[in-house]
Amino acid sequence: MVSTVAIREYGLLGRVGAKLDQPNCIDLAYIPDTAWDWLLRETCGDFENVRLVRPVKKEGLLYLQVLNYVGVVRTPCGCTIEVLPKTTTGVNERDLSKERSLLLKMLNRVFSLNLKELELTDLQLAKRPLPEILVNLFLVQVKDLVKRGVRSDYISVKAEAPYLRGRLRIESQLRQRAGRDHFFSIEYDDFIPDRPENRLIHSSLKKSLAWIASVSNRKLARELIFAFEDIPVSRNYSGDFLKWQSDRNMILYRGLKPWCQLILGQQTPFSISGSHFGQSFLFPMNELFEKYVAAVLRRQIQQGLQLKEQASSRHLVQNHNDQKLFQLRPDILILDGGSPKTLLDCKWKILDQTGNSDTSIYKKKYGIQQSDLYQLYAYGKKYLNGSGCMYIVHPRHQAFKEPLDDFQFDENLRLRVIPFDLDADQLVVDRDGFESWLDA
């Protein structure tokens, strides 16, 4: 039984065999028993593997709750599960298209896919499953390349032939075996399309074919694979990407490189892939959010400032047996003339500043983890020398629209918890705007 379901982060997956009267919704979906059993067995996590789901009980029934990974996973039985970001506590079905558009927008910015604004805001496009959207956009670009002409390159070829071509390989000719004196050991340059860029595109086309179900996409993919039939697939992704040329003659290929890197898993060090997770295309949402915020801020910070991701120049313990221990790595460090000015830590978690939560403890702390404050305090002491303002960034939503009141660690060091508006692509720091947020 093959099925496709879409669900948000932290939604529940139930077994079709144990299905009650509740229909599928954005926070609850039912999948075939074989797919459910595989997820329970293979993706609940252990000491070596990442945890994608966890078993939970609700109303006496056992479900699998998906964790904070977004993207797609396909089980060996053919069930496709699409996990989308959760940016609201509501359960409106229309939110699925909105969340899918958001994920597409974030992937576009983080991986430089160069999608047009029209493509990102196309409501009809956003109704389709994520793999179909991404693969279709990739196929359209490859189709345009084929229409304009696949580039060839001169490749050095060594051969033995009954004629002379190129140059004679004298050393090899002198070692020619008896009875083959009429063959020439030659080396020549052949102008053929077997070049790294085309091999990687061919590999990407074949890999993407496994992700698509629509007739139109499969038809186009097979036509393009046929166009690359005489070109071998890449046997060494990393090596071929290093050889990818970006000169004037390869302008048509520039937009395809990030697509190939994304499809072949070469641009996603924080993505999850491999046989353990079936055919997966998953991203830890917290890291994707972090990279997205960094990509946006890099374009917005004042001239003369530098943005560094995952700085690692400070340690919690300065000296233990002549060694520094426990490296401190803030998500984003802003420097001015090489000196740290402020830092930001990004958390993909929905906060609540409305006071409508269930427990008094949660109301008092807004849902902020105490461990996060300990972490930021250590960052402030080590990177800012105990003086300045730091930021924790959470996604903006209906229950978290404005910055919280400052958290004052001491006279000189304070922390601000601020929203990031994913629609407007900006930090919400003050009611009057965010232009001077670095000086807050």
What is the per-residue pLDDT for 153?
82
What is the per-residue pLDDT for 138?
92
Average pLDDT of the chain, as a whole number: 84
159 pLDDT tier (thresholds 50, 70, 90): confident
What is the per-residue pLDDT for 156?
79
Residue 41 near residue 25 (C-beta atoms within 8 A): no
19 with 83, same domain: the answer is yes
358 pLDDT tier (thresholds 50, 70, 90): low
Residue pLDDT, tens place only, 121-148: 665 666 788 888 888 889 999 999 999 9
Q: Is residue 170 part of a domain?
A: yes
314 with 402, same domain: the answer is yes
Q: Is residue 214 part of a domain?
A: yes
d(CA 3, CA 256): 31
User: With pLDDT > 70 as the criterion, what percentage of the chain qualifies?
Assistant: 85
Q: Is residue 281 part of a domain?
A: no
Residue pLDDT, tens place only, 275-299: 444 567 788 899 999 999 999 999 8
Q: Is 379 exposed, middle or buried (0-12, 13-18, 19+ CB in 10 A)?
A: buried
Tell me which of 192, 216, 246 is where a domain ends: 192
178 with 251, same domain: the answer is no
128 with 227, same domain: the answer is yes
Q: What share of the chain is helix, strand, coil (3-state, %, to 5)?
A: 35, 25, 40
* pTM check: above 0.85: no
User: With pLDDT > 90 as the criterion, what percentage of the chain qualifies?
Assistant: 41
361 with 314, same domain: the answer is yes
Query: Quick check: 93 pLDDT over 80?
Result: no
39 with 68, same domain: the answer is yes
Residue 52 in tokens: 């994608």
237 with 158, same domain: the answer is no
Query: Quick check: 309 pLDDT over 90?
Result: yes
What is the per-residue pLDDT for 195?
92
Tell me which of 267, 290, 311 is where a domain ends: 267
How would you write 188-242 as a 3-class SS string? EEEEECCCHHHHHHHHHHHHHHCCCCCHHHHHHHHHHHHHCCCCCCCCCHHHHHH
Residue 152 near residue 193 (C-beta atoms within 8 A): yes
137 with 158, same domain: the answer is no
262 with 140, same domain: the answer is yes
Mean pLDDT throughout 380-401?
92
Mean pLDDT throughout 17-35?
80
List the domain range (segments joined by +) for residue 180.
153-192
DSSP state for residue 304 in the 8-state scheme: T
Residue type at position 385: N
Number of domains in the chain: 4
What is the per-residue pLDDT for 19?
65
Q: Name residue 408's beta-bridge partners.
A: 414
Q: Is residue 276 part of a domain?
A: no
Tell the residue number behind the tokens 């990509």, with chain if given. 295
**Residue predicted with more confidence, 213 or 104:** 104
325 with 424, same domain: the answer is yes
Q: Is residue 14 part of a domain?
A: yes
201 with 228, same domain: the answer is yes
Tell me which of 139, 174, 192 is where a domain ends: 192
225 pLDDT tier (thresholds 50, 70, 90): very high
What is the per-residue pLDDT for 120?
64
How many H-runs (helices) and E-runs (strands) does the chain carry? 13, 20
Find the range with the poorest average confidence among 110-119, 256-265, 364-373, 406-415. Answer: 110-119
411 with 428, same domain: the answer is yes
Query: Quick check: 91 pLDDT over 70?
Result: no
Those residues with Cβ within 8 angstroms of residue 327's Cβ, 6 or more apart along the chain or in another chain: 312, 314, 315, 316
User: Kind and range of the H or E element at 285?
Assistant: helix 285-300
Q: Is residue 285 part of a domain?
A: no
Q: Is residue 97 part of a domain?
A: no
Query: Quick check: 426 pLDDT over 70?
Result: yes
H helices within 230-284, ranges in order?
A: 237-242, 257-263
Instruction: Name which of 330, 325, 328, 397 is nearest 366 in CA terms.
Output: 397
Query: Quick check: 103 pLDDT over 80?
Result: yes
Query: Quick check: 380 pLDDT over 90?
Result: yes
User: Kind and range of the H or E element at 185?
Assistant: strand 184-192
Mean pLDDT throughout 204-229?
91
φ, ψ of residue 386 to 5 degrees: the values are 75, 15
Q: Is residue 287 part of a domain?
A: no
What is the per-residue pLDDT for 421?
94
